[in-house]
Structure 1
Amino acid sequence: MKNVFFIGILLLSAFWSYGQKKVLQTQSINQPISIDGKLDEEVWRNAAIASDFVTLEPDNGKPISENKKTEVKVVYNNDAIYIGAMMYDDEPTKILKEISQRDNFGTADLFGVFINGFNDGQQDFMFYVSAADVQGDCIMTDANGEDYSWDAVWNSKATLTENGWIVEIKIPYAALRFSSENKQTWGINFFREVKRDRFKYTWNFVDSKIGTFTQQSGILEGIENIKPPTRLFLMPYASYYLNAADGLKTYGTMKGGMDIKYGINDAFTLDAILIPDFGQAKYDDQILNLGPFEQQFNENRAFFTEGTDLFNKGNMFYSRRIGGKPSTEPDLEKNEKVIEEPQSVNLINALKISGRTKGGLGVGILNAVTEKTYSTIQDTITLQRRREVVEPLANYNVLVLDQRFRKNSSVTFINTNVTRNGEFRDANVSALAWDLNTKANSYNLSGNFKYSSINDIEDKDGVYATLGFAKTSGKYRYSFGSDFVTEDFDPNDLGINFYTNYYNFYGNANYRTLKKTEKLNNFRANYNMYIEYNKFSGRIQDNNINVNAHVTTLKNNYFGMGLTVFPLESSDYYEPRADNRYVIIPRKIESWGSISTNYNNKFAVDFNPSISIADEPGRMAYGFDLGPRYRFNDKLLMTYTFSFFRKNNNKGFIDDYDEDDNEATPETIVFANRNVITYSNTLGGKYAINSTMTLNLSVRQYWSYAENKEILELQPNGTLTAFPEYIENKNSSFYSWNADLSYSWWFAPGSQISVLYRNNASNFENIIDKEFKQNVTGLLNNDALKHIFSISVKYFIDTNAVKNKIRNRA
């Protein structure tokens, strides 16, 4: 009986300690602290200690071992908060410390501090330092996860010792958000990752059974009589570009401009770019796109990625629309052709305002203006030229109002608007979205209602509505829901959406381990079902049943596999590229696998095979990605990926025409039975000179071709029949080359010098040359290869620091 009572007391104590938030008391200091990674100032000896860390992954809830003891101290003054951390390690020579770029920690131990100045459980500012002295920072919300595009300016230093390693951090108040109250209570948590074990720990226990992270922080008390500083940051830049191409004159371009960040108050920030320059943004991975939809590209421009979590609400904002391709094509007369066709529209300027009030209201406003853009057209007989506007002066706006309540739920209003000068298409889309969670974060009800209105030659209005319910905590979780979309819903002027005119139903059930077992670090299995119907005809547009499993072994090797069955024939209303026409898609089965060995090892490999077999003779697809990687030392890493994918007897659209120009006669839609083969080689390399200076290599070679074996005609019932009368060559071959060699040096906090050499080329043709070597060398040796050499200098100016220097000199 005594033993039962004793065990009960232990369980109750454990529950009480995990259920209660830890509290750390900080203190104000007057003495200066040198950020040198030594913690030898007197103020550190007298500061309270945060200790007794708890495992986050993989053995959630288990106390940290004594030989990995971690102690953290926090002090502050009128300008900044200081964090000193000692990470003990019984095998200090085994601490992993790969040097990498900022925000990319590679294979290295980590320490992090997560701060919420309003202690409202909504948003954490996360600051990381690796054992290699590399910084990383991000904004974390439960809805959107970690956003590493956000960069703050702060100081840190990590040093190795005979007992482990030390981190010393100074975070200026300008890098944080907090109220103007005299007595502050902040949410805070500390994080440690021991990379060789792949174990993660936090100071305040984060229960993985609960579907939230930001609400499980501890408490920081004792900060008094500090004021949010004036947050005015100027980032002037200058860049030089030298452009060259075979057969063309080499020319240089000088650019200059400025980015501005201004704290309107303690919660809201204004970001503006004057004379933007995105010349050093990462290249796009273009592909041979045979489908009915445009290729969607990642956003690589910092202004449109940094701190955009509010603008991503409702999934309505696709920033690549701003400065993308013109919205129209020129009208050509007989004997005319386009000789200059712009692929993008220049951005004149852009600004955004974002933040959240103490009452939980998040406000996001984004505005951008693009310039008038022309195509040049030539008469093939008279050779006379004329210009035609393909994109007028255009104004892009996004407004988001996101009301958070009860720390874990929100209701959001979103509006996107594009207004083009003159008689060009205008667009407006509004949405109401909700994300509602129970107090214990066990269940979730989410959804949205979107309404689009297009002002064009023919005005169109459309609706998109979703509703979903989910169990979001525990080992066993599930979800189900439905979407409804009308035919004329169109958010594509400032968003991206491919499918309309349907309704669907979906469900998911999954199981996961929350603690490691005797044989596995973690395991997860999912079961998914989906069915989609065309809204007008009621025909099935899509259907599948999917099962997949994911395992991480005790040696931190990952294995995954999945099986998807499409048990019913479906009708594809998009591939024919014509209203109310569809093509029958046969039943099929797909399977995939994934292996990723432990990146802690010098040599690791990723392997991802897949296969798809259709219920149609000879129609199948298969391929794989193979990616070995080798870490020579803490400075040098090389990666390589070879990808191969083949589709046999793929059926796809190639042409359409009206044989007799009679509107009453349906147009002829031509398909092809084709083989589609794709190869790509990607090489990446990093050499870190030190924690602030790196050399990076990125090379991508891509080749894909579609060889038509038989020409087919689409019938009104969705079947395909032979069409030998069609003799035009509609084969496709696209190959491209991109190579970037860059040098980056963060020479001062927030200030960077970047040097980039880039060459790239691409080509599309209907004649297929299957000589792989000749395709690559031909592309590199022809006039299409472009060379760009650029140097960019960006300098960060904190007006507070400038004022302090002037005051001290006086």
Structure 2
Amino acid sequence: MSKLYSTGLFFLIFFSHTAFSQKKTLQAKSITENITIDGKINEQIWESASIASDFIMFEPDNGKPISNDKKTEVKVLYDNNAIYISALLFDNEPDKIQREITNRDVFGVSDHFSVYLNGFNDGQQDFRFFVSAAGVQMDCLATEDYEDFTWDAIWDSEVTITEFGWAVEMKIPYAALRFSKADKQTWGLNFMREIKRDVQKYTWNRIDTKIGAVIPQAGILQGIENIQTPTRLFLIPYSSAYYQQSDIGSDTTLKAGLDIKYGINDSFTLDAILVPDFGQTKFDNAILNLLPFEQQFAENRPFFTEGTDLFNKGGLFYSRRIGGGSTTELLLGDQEEITNYPSTVDLLNAVKISGRTEKGLGIGFLNAVTEKTRATILNNDTGEIRKEVIEPLTNYNMFVLDQRFNQNSSVSFVNANTTRNGDFRDANASALLFDLNTKDNKYNLYGDFKYSAIKAIEDYDGFKTEIGFEKTSGKYRYGFSGKYLSENYDVNDLGINFYSNYHNAYGHASYRIVNPTKIFNTFRLNEYVNFEIDNTSGKLQTGAFGTEIKATTLNNDTLEFVAELSPFKTFDFYEPREYGRYVFLPEKMIAILNFTSNDNNPFTLIIQPTFTKYNESGRNNYGFYLGPKYRFNDKFSLSFAAEYTNMKNDRGWVDFDDTGIIFAERNREILQNDFTGKYALNNKMTINLTARYYWSYSKNHEFFTLQDSGYLIPNTAYAQNKDRNFNSWNFDLSYSWWFAPGSEISVLYRNYGLQRSDIVEKRVSKNLDNIFKSDLTNVLSVSIRYFIDYNAVKNKF
């Protein structure tokens, strides 16, 4: 009886057929006429198209119908090349429509209209296209967990400000979408309108915020039938020139290359880069890293950010591994020194294929090859110079299968493989993932099993597994999960993972309002508990209870509070830098406050103080973040961010010696200043300034030796200077002109420098003086890329 009851309960939870509220349906109209995308909507064919109207508020007052003076009317046409969308957005105060001009994919202080398209109507992924009232485009690939704005499609849009409000026209080529081969198409569809000054968003098909999932609540687009889509072949040749100057000398570099995008069919696309050039990507934010782990950098190279949602499943893909630093340690003779050690490895070429079948099977394949890289070593006695391979010719592969079903559930398989030529380390990692939701999106069951295998001097393998359950709808929500990582779990050849050899239990419960109250527009309270235990020793490495509160006031200012209490003695198994060793960590309490003012105002401000108190005499951390921004007008804005952290009597590893592992008690300070400016000449041409100054030091005042018990005892004999002083400066001034769809001319002036020292200088002015007197590098570069549509060329000839 109990077995039948359990089985019935499982099916009730995970295969419930409870339906959403009735979905709206819009009929697209077939056309043969040409539509001019000018924002005027004056072609006669628009008059006979079906109208999508009666928008419903998404937030803050979910479910409230839009007022008549803000009514919105949207129509959809299509031909064999694209779908066309017109929108009339009424506003009884058109002079108050916000329309800040920004860079592409930056929302800014503007009203927006957007369309969400799902060519498979599977409730899993949207292609989202946004247009601001200033005419700026934004687009992204969206799942329930993430909006990927690094994805950029080629599409047309224009807006006009009218006496009744504003109007939008959009042309979205089929090349920018993915859909099935069916003669009669049924797509998921929703429209969203944002009225910025009121901080309100409305959708055509109602999205109930009591339900956690948004995408399955879309309406339906019908009427697209028997389309004959053109060949999807796009070529993007580019050329760039660099002039670099420093104290060492100067040189000039010319580069040229080609990006290729080919539509294998309406669902799958091949992307390839030949002779890549990433010289104008955003600089990395270098820091003084005293942690036992490498610094994790953001990916700024377009090929590895655009359309990589499939490859990011399972967390096995950290794209900065491709073309990053070497993985080989050099063995030097007594009289040898390294005279040249390349910091990066050149990427030779890369290709990716991704898409989804009409039955919901997503397939992704990525391959990249990096070249053999050598360091130069000098023998100071003989003068002999030799070169040593620090990274061989290396091949990186990602392969993903992702089966979607029931509108909102999926099962995935992921494989990451790194193969190095010759007798170097090879690696392979695989993951099986599942994400199951009830039809009404009230409950979620998720989990994974991952396996890694390393082929090196000594082969080893490991695994990680996790399972979790959550209630994902309503005012009250909760969840719990557990995971286990084996001792030798290692995915760091193509992924990134810092911690292993522990098991974990996590739980949370939250409350939120779904409609405004007399005090708050939004309010969310979350309580959580997290425990992690080392597998080998059974010692606690994390034991924390936390509270998170986030709210927006009726004035649309945001307030946040986070408090975390760790009332147990815990141990760090990584800071000692030696396998099997650990160091004691005292109990602690963390508190974070945040105030973010309404960004509709010309002057906005972010204030965030932080404080950490350890149960150890004199040991505490405090920090402060201040971020003012002023918008002079719709074209010009300046912002500044200052972040300061002070760590009193911090403790950490500094060295190994004959007595064992040496720790230091130290004082640390970190100061980072970021300055950004934007001037938009128009919605396709901008001048941008980004400057960053970072300074940090570590001043040791007492040394210890780590005991086998994990506790420290004083070491008065150690006398090495392990102080650190670190300065980093970056300055980018750029001009960008999108002179045609997908085509850009950019000019960049870059100035940067980095300085390390074991002499601590606590005066900021002196540190600034030192960094500017150091060997700063200046780079001036000009780049042009041009988008070529095979069909446009074919039609001309």
Is contact 1:178-1:228 (8 Å) kept? no
| Corresponding residue SS for 1:309 | coil
Which residue of structure 2 lines up, in the alignment, with residue 259 of structure 1?
Answer: 259
Which residue of structure 1 lines up, in the alignment, with residue 537 of structure 2?
Answer: 537
Which residue, 790, 794, 797 being the options, matches 1:799? 790
Which residue of structure 1 lines up, in the alignment, with residue 28 of structure 2?
Answer: 26
Is contact 2:687-2:735 (8 Å) kept? yes
Is contact 1:180-1:228 (8 Å) kept? no
Is contact 1:18-1:205 (8 Å) kept? no
Which residue of structure 1 lines up, in the alignment, with residue 350 of structure 2?
Answer: 350
Which residue of structure 2 lines up, in the alignment, with residue 129 of structure 1?
Answer: 131
Shift in Å, 1:579: 1.6
Q: Distance in 1 between matches of 2:21 and 2:796?
A: 47
Is contact 1:177-1:267 (8 Å) kept? yes
Q: Distance in 2 between matches of 1:407 and 1:65?
A: 32
Q: Distance in 2 between matches of 1:298 and 1:61?
A: 38
Q: For each residue in 1:666-722, what CA deviation from the matched residue of structure 2 results, as whole angstroms up to 9, or x when unmatched?
A: x60000000010111110011000000000000000000000011111111111111
Q: Distance in 2 between matches of 1:710 and 1:120?
A: 61
Which residue of structure 2 lines up, in the alignment, with residue 421 of structure 1?
Answer: 421
| Corresponding residue SS for 1:120 | coil
Is contact 1:609-1:624 (8 Å) kept? yes
Which residue of structure 2 lines up, in the alignment, with residue 708 of structure 1?
Answer: 700
Which residue of structure 1 lines up, in the alignment, with residue 778 of structure 2?
Answer: 787
CA gap of 1:117–1:446, structure 2 versus 1, over 3 A, is: same
Amino acid at match of 1:164: G
Shift in Å, 1:204: 0.5
Alignment of 1:162-201 (within 5 A): 162-201=163-202
| Corresponding residue SS for 1:73 | strand
Q: Distance in 2 between matches of 1:340 and 1:193?
A: 54
Shift in Å, 1:17: 12
CA gap of 1:18–1:327, structure 2 versus 1, over 3 A, is: closer
Shift in Å, 1:40: 1.4
Which residue, 82, 85, 100 being the options, matches 1:83? 85
Q: Distance in 2 between matches of 1:180 and 1:491?
A: 38
CA gap of 1:17–1:121, structure 2 versus 1, over 3 A, is: closer
Which residue, 722, 728, 734 being the options, matches 2:726? 734
Is contact 1:679-1:703 (8 Å) kept? yes
Q: Distance in 2 between matches of 1:203 and 1:795?
A: 36
| Corresponding residue SS for 1:223 | coil
Which residue, 70, 73, 76 being the options, matches 2:72? 70
Alignment of 1:206-355 (within 5 A): 206-245=207-246, 247-355=247-355
Is contact 2:122-2:404 (8 Å) kept? no
Q: Distance in 2 between matches of 1:744 and 1:604?
A: 26
| Corresponding residue SS for 2:311 | helix
Which residue of structure 2 lines up, in the alignment, with residue 765 of structure 1?
Answer: 757
| Corresponding residue SS for 2:224 | strand
Amino acid at match of 1:456: A
Shift in Å, 1:805: 2.5
CA gap of 1:17–1:519, structure 2 versus 1, over 3 A, is: farther
Alignment of 1:376-525 (within 5 A): 376-525=376-525
Q: Distance in 1 between matches of 2:545 and 2:177?
A: 46
Alignment of 1:642-657 (within 5 A): 642-657=642-657
Amino acid at match of 2:369: V
Is contact 2:126-2:142 (8 Å) kept? yes
Q: For each residue in 1:134-159, what CA deviation from the matched residue of structure 2 results, as whole angstroms up to 9, or x when unmatched?
A: 011111122x4211111111111011
Is contact 1:532-1:540 (8 Å) kept? yes
Amino acid at match of 1:132: A
Gaps of 5+ in 1: 1-15, 660-666
Is contact 2:20-2:217 (8 Å) kept? no
Which residue, 99, 102, 112 being the options, matches 1:100? 102
| Corresponding residue SS for 1:292 | coil
Shift in Å, 1:483: 1.1
Q: For each residue in 1:643-679, what CA deviation from the matched residue of structure 2 results, as whole angstroms up to 9, or x when unmatched?
A: 110000001000013x2xxxxxxx6000000001011
Which residue of structure 2 lines up, in the alignment, with residue 599 of structure 1?
Answer: 599
The two structures have a TM-score, normalised by structure 1, of 0.95
Q: For each residue in 1:148-187, what CA deviation from the matched residue of structure 2 results, as whole angstroms up to 9, or x when unmatched?
A: 1111111110110111000011112222222233222222
Amino acid at match of 1:272: A
Q: Distance in 2 between matches of 1:700 and 1:141?
A: 33
Amino acid at match of 1:795: Y
Amino acid at match of 1:136: M
Q: For each residue in 1:526-576, what CA deviation from the matched residue of structure 2 results, as whole angstroms up to 9, or x when unmatched?
A: 101011111011011111000010010111100011111001000111100
Is contact 2:122-2:405 (8 Å) kept? no
Shift in Å, 1:26: 2.1
Q: Is residue 2:719 matched to residue 1:718?
A: no
Is contact 1:179-1:228 (8 Å) kept? no
Is contact 2:178-2:355 (8 Å) kept? no
Shift in Å, 1:248: 2.3
| Corresponding residue SS for 1:777 | helix
The two structures have a TM-score, normalised by structure 2, of 0.97
Amino acid at match of 2:176: A
Shift in Å, 1:118: 2.1
Which residue, 47, 50, 75 being the options, matches 2:49? 47
Alignment of 1:582-731 (within 5 A): 582-657=582-657, 659=658, 668-731=660-723
Shift in Å, 1:797: 0.6
Amino acid at match of 2:160: T
Q: Distance in 2 between matches of 1:185 and 1:547?
A: 44
Q: Distance in 1 between matches of 2:579 and 2:782?
A: 50
| Corresponding residue SS for 2:47 | helix
Which residue of structure 2 lines up, in the alignment, with residue 36 of structure 1?
Answer: 38
Shift in Å, 1:494: 0.3
Is contact 2:211-2:473 (8 Å) kept? yes
Q: Distance in 1 between matches of 2:447 and 2:121?
A: 27
Q: Distance in 2 between matches of 1:532 and 1:182?
A: 53
Shift in Å, 1:31: 2.3
Q: For each residue in 1:577-625, what CA deviation from the matched residue of structure 2 results, as whole angstroms up to 9, or x when unmatched?
A: 1121111100011101000001110001001110011111000000111
Q: For each residue in 1:50-81, what CA deviation from the matched residue of structure 2 results, as whole angstroms up to 9, or x when unmatched?
A: 10000111111111111111011111222221
Which residue of structure 2 lines up, in the alignment, with residue 6 of structure 1?
Answer: none
Number of aligned pairs?
780
CA gap of 1:17–1:73, structure 2 versus 1, over 3 A, is: farther
Q: Is residue 2:363 matched to residue 1:363?
A: yes
Superposed CA RMSD: 1.2
Q: Distance in 2 between matches of 1:227 and 1:219?
A: 21
Shift in Å, 1:18: 7.3
Q: For each residue in 1:339-383, what CA deviation from the matched residue of structure 2 results, as whole angstroms up to 9, or x when unmatched?
A: 111111000000001011111111110000000001111112222
Shift in Å, 1:222: 1.6
Q: Distance in 2 between matches of 1:524 and 1:497?
A: 30
Which residue, 747, 770, 775 being the options, matches 2:739? 747
Q: Distance in 2 between matches of 1:317 and 1:163?
A: 49
Q: For each residue in 1:276-328, what CA deviation from the matched residue of structure 2 results, as whole angstroms up to 9, or x when unmatched?
A: 00000100111110110001000000000001110011111100000000010
Q: Distance in 1 between matches of 2:304 and 2:770?
A: 36
